[in-house]
């Protein structure tokens, strides 16, 4: 195998370095942070998504979880990646959960692919983690996931991932009942 690194490998390595630096010293809940980012990217990789979608997946929570901004993402990875990450970032000024999630879903669907694909992969990775660890998933979170899935399907997006998410929502609901 040659020592030549492809552009996509270099961008992934840059994203991992960016995340390691961003998360350094930041406390994250179990199942979140760098392991979660890699799990979301892996869901997309296994489903055949391109390197750009996987890059967005790696970076999707960095603005919510750390002091990094969408502008930081734009400076490092360009406008397309930053726009998708921005669409996937909750607005912290919206204090009420239901309104905040409604706004997030609306912006994610408006952004289209790959933001919607990453959002669905994010929920797949989160539910897998919850099921493996025996963590309870709240009914309101399951409702949020279900509505996001319905919106994605209505828009004709993330169809390759929809069945996985549907099955995981059902499994998590049964496990949490």
Concatenated DSSP letters of 92-113: TT--SHHHHHHHHHHHHHHH-T
What average pLDDT does the segment 34-53 reach? Answer: 96
pLDDT surpassing 60 at residue 77: yes
Phi, psi (rounded to 5 degrees) for 30: -55, 140
pLDDT value of residue 2? 57
Residue pair 22/70 in contact by the 8 Å Cβ criterion: no
pTM score: 0.94
- Which H or E run includes 69? none
DSSP conformational letter for 155: T
> 12-41 pLDDT, tens per residue?
999 999 999 999 999 988 889 999 999 999
Question: 172 near 131, Cβ under 8 Å?
Answer: yes
Compute the mean pLDDT over every residue in the chain, rounded to the nearest whole number. Answer: 94
- Report how far residue 161's alpha carbon sits from residue 133's, in angstroms, rounded to the nearest whole number: 22
- pLDDT category at 85 given cuts 50, 70, 90 is very high
- Please report the beta strands in 9-166, taking only residues with DSSP state E, as ranges in sequence order: none
Residues contacting 69, CB < 8 A, separation 6+: 63
Which whole number is the average pLDDT over 110-133? Answer: 97
Structure tokens at 60: 């999707």
CA-based angle 137:140:143, to the nearest 5?
A: 95
Q: What is the mean pLDDT of residues 41-49?
A: 97
For residue 4, the model assigns a pLDDT of: 73
* Residue 8 binned pLDDT confidence (cut-offs 50, 70, 90): confident
CB neighbour list of residue 36: distance below 8 Å, 6 or more residues apart: 61, 125, 126, 129
- pLDDT band for 55, please (50, 70, 90 cuts): very high
Work out the average pLDDT over 53-72: 96
**138-177 pLDDT, tens digit each:** 999 999 999 999 999 999 999 999 999 999 999 999 998 7
Tokens of 77: 């990875």
Task: Please give the DSSP secondary-structure letter assigned to residue 32.
Answer: -
* Residue 78 and residue 7 in contact, taking contact as beta carbons nearer than 8 Å: no
Q: Widest CA span of the chain, in angstroms? A: 53
Q: Which domains are assigned to the chain?
A: 7-176 (1.10.3210.10)
pLDDT at 1 over 80: no
């Amino acid at each position: 195998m040659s020592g030549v690194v492809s552009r996509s490998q270099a961008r992934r390595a840059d994203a991992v370095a960016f995340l390691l630096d961003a998360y350094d010293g930041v406390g994250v809940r179990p199942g979140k942070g760098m392991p979660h980012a890699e799990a979301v990217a892996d869901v997309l990789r296994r489903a055949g998504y391109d390197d750009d979608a996987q890059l967005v997946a790696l970076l999707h929570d960095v603005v919510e979880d750390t002091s990094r901004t969408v502008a930081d993402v734009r400076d490092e990875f360009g406008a397309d990646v930053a726009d998708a990450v921005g669409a996937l970032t909750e607005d912290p000024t919206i204090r009420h959960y239901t309104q905040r999630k409604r706004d997030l879903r609306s912006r994610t669907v408006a952004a289209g692919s790959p933001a919607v694909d990453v959002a669905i992969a994010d929920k797949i990775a989160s539910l897998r983690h919850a099921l493996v660890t025996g963590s309870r998933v709240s009914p309101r979170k399951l409702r949020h996931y279900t509505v996001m899935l319905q919106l994605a399907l209505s828009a004709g997006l993330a169809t390759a991932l929809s069945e996985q998410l549907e099955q995981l929502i059902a499994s998590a609901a049964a496990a949490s009942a």
